[in-house]
Structure 1
Amino acid sequence: MNASLIAETGHRVAVYYQTQYDNNLAPNSAFGHYVTPLPLIALITHLLLAAFHINFDDISVHLNDFVPEHPMFTQMWADIAVMQANGIKVIGMLGGAAPGTYACLTPHLFDTYYPVLARYIKRFRLDGMDLDVEQDTPLADIIHLVKRLKKDFGKNFIITFAPVASALVEFGANLSGFDYIQLEKAVGSEISWYNAQFYSGFGSFFPDQMYLDIVNAGNGIHPSRLVATTLTDPNEGFGFIDLDEVVDSITQLSAQQGFDFGGIAGWEYWDSQPGGENQPYLWAQLMHDTMAEIKANQTKLLASSKSVGRRQ
């Protein structure tokens, strides 16, 4: 067990942040009720900012329905800078269910559309990109994108993928159109981890067998590089898992894998249980506390191992 590897890369608590304004609550800004991510400071390791889209018609990039520099995002960018100053890595999610983005990154279109995306990554100082490919895309195009991002933004730039969980096992259901096992073989060293979607019928995190299937499939993905993404509220989609069961799976997997566990991510922030719209940060608090307990147990185990080693 590589303790330094686990400390640096495992036990992540990540939150997807797509809904910046909650129409169900009274306005607190000119654009509606702004949902600030600041309460997540000290609770999460990564904020996954969703969703960036590349638009074919006007060669533009939007964050959801607006350009990223729109005034409605001014407060958000200020808050994100505060989070980064407090050690949280902010990763932009590219793609998702909306079609088109990756069709703009084919070989003959790449030099037209990619520079627009790259300028926003640089302008807003994103720490990485989460590639959520939910349309048929050639593997070669994705490999090219990964290599270009690393070339342009350096070895410390975080690149993650967000496949449905079943796509990470052989012959499993897959929304991306390419083989993730082949992707891992080709550029796995450039991919920080996978935010696998354990919902919508593509895998369940309780029981945790699907996670183990992924770790053991083919050459396997090291558990420190496999983050389980679950729904934070039943209204977010099909396949919500009770939070107590999520905690049980996290605890069991960490013990089974020698405390190697990539972490947990939640889709999405604004209405997360158990606090709902008024206290959405409570989901992150629960997951943070769970990880803290796991790390404490890991520390005890490592201390015990060192003590035994000294006595021999």
Structure 2
Amino acid sequence: MVAHAIANRVVMYYQTQYQNGVYVSPLPLIGYVTHLLLAAFHLNMGHTGPDIVHLNDFMPSEPYYAPMWPDIAALQGNGTKVIGMLGGAAPGTYDCLVDSLFDTYYPPLKDVISTYKLDGMDLDVEQSVSPATITRLIRTLKEDFGEDFIITLAPVASALTEGGNLSGFDYIDLEANMGSQISWYNAQFYSGFGTFFPEDQYDSIINYNQGIDPARVTAIVLTNPSNGFGYIGPDNVVTSIENLMTKYGTGWGGVGGWEYFNSLPDSSEPWEWAIMMKNAMQVQKAKIEAKQREVEAREAEERAVVRSRMFKLSAREN
């Protein structure tokens, strides 16, 4: 059973905790995001003890993060799942998790997950990693934290059709072998590896090879053109949401943004991006459900007409 593959996710990556020396609180996201992805955790080769695990430039326990952890707990207390992102663009983390080093570098990561009560881990593999390494990590996390622990992966979108791939292993093979233990994929539709508007590439992922349930493919897009190459505006994201929900229904997997602190349309109120996405999915869901009710009512009326005719015919014969 895959944990927490809920419909209509709004996922937000939260990596920039300070902007110009001012703390950026995630609290305004309460009620609008389903999952906050806390980025980016790294494992440091050659370090020892707690210093093995860093969240960006510091150990998670350092005073730098003192304002953040109570906010993280508040989000969780209000129903948002908080997932740690492991890896990303900085290389080296997954080199620490090969078999010969696993027992040295994995336990401090396990301790951080336990200490800060993270609900899952997003494995963002942007270096060449063997299938054996990623498989062992997924299995060990499930063994240690249970079936409800969320495990996601963050491939570039093209990797889900066996195109451009930063991870080294084949995601289609991984899905075939480990899909039951992967909650969903946070597919990166930017940086030259994909675009979410128009939504053709998303469709090609769902239809490729054995296919992946659209409930398990969350489209990650840039929230600001300064965050990378391939930005699309929130209005275009909303258009693709409408088209994909029309096609795949109310169980569709949702969207996410990289990253929170400067999200448009108003970077001074970056939570507006998440509000737009949640509202777009709610509106589309309501439209789909209203149409379904219309169809059901029409079918019920047609059945009533048929029953009435049959009753009259039976009465006439008697």
Fold in common (TM above 0.5): yes
Following TM superposition, by how much is the alpha carbon of 1:309 offset from its aligned partner in structure 2, in angstroms?
Answer: 6.2
Gaps of 5+ in 2: 304-318
Mapped pair 1:15 → 2:15:
no
Match of 2:143 in 1: 151
Measure, in 1, the Cα distance between the counterparts of 2:215 and 2:181.
15
Mapped pair 1:281 → 2:268:
no
Following TM superposition, by how much is the alpha carbon of 1:293 offset from its aligned partner in structure 2, in angstroms?
Answer: 0.6
**Aligned partner of 2:180 among 184, 189, 208:** 189
Match of 1:33 in 2: 22
Match of 2:236 in 1: 245
AA at the equivalent of 1:47: L
CA offset digits 1:96-124 (Å, max 9, x no partner): 00011000000111111101000000000
Following TM superposition, by how much is the alpha carbon of 1:296 offset from its aligned partner in structure 2, in angstroms?
Answer: 1.2
Aligned ranges 1:17-96 → 2 under 5 Å: 17-23=14-20, 32-59=21-48, 60-96=52-88
Mapped pair 1:199 → 2:190:
yes
Measure, in 1, the Cα distance between the counterparts of 2:78 and 2:299.
37
Query: 2:5 touches 2:215 (CA, 8 Å); kept in 1?
Result: no
CA offset digits 1:67-124 (Å, max 9, x no partner): 0011111111000100000000000000000011000000111111101000000000
Question: What secondary structure does 2:204 align onto?
Answer: helix
Greater alpha carbon shift after TM alignment, 75-84 vs 251-260: 251-260
Following TM superposition, by how much is the alpha carbon of 1:300 offset from its aligned partner in structure 2, in angstroms?
Answer: 2.0
**Aligned partner of 2:161 among 163, 169, 181:** 169
Query: 2:5 touches 2:184 (CA, 8 Å); kept in 1?
Result: no
Match of 2:316 in 1: none
Measure, in 1, the Cα distance between the counterparts of 2:299 and 2:255.
33
Count of residues in Structure 1 that have an aligned counterpart in Structure 2: 297
Question: What secondary structure does 1:210 align onto?
Answer: helix
Q: Which has the larger radius of gyration?
A: 2
TM-score, structure 1 normalization? 0.92
- Cα distance change on mapping 1:155 and 1:305 into 2, 3 Å: farther
AA at the equivalent of 1:208: E
Measure, in 1, the Cα distance between the counterparts of 2:294 and 2:133.
48
Measure, in 2, the Cα distance between the counterparts of 1:8 and 1:233.
27
Mapped pair 1:272 → 2:263:
yes
Runs in 1 of length 4+ with deviation above 6 angstroms? Answer: none
**Aligned partner of 2:224 among 233, 247, 270:** 233
Following TM superposition, by how much is the alpha carbon of 1:139 offset from its aligned partner in structure 2, in angstroms?
Answer: 0.6
Measure, in 2, the Cα distance between the counterparts of 1:157 and 1:234.
33
AA at the equivalent of 1:48: L
TM-score, structure 2 normalization? 0.90
Following TM superposition, by how much is the alpha carbon of 1:275 offset from its aligned partner in structure 2, in angstroms?
Answer: 1.1
Query: 2:199 touches 2:240 (CA, 8 Å); kept in 1?
Result: yes
AA at the equivalent of 1:107: D
Question: What secondary structure does 1:9 align onto?
Answer: coil
Measure, in 2, the Cα distance between the counterparts of 1:308 and 1:174.
48
Question: What secondary structure does 1:188 align onto?
Answer: helix
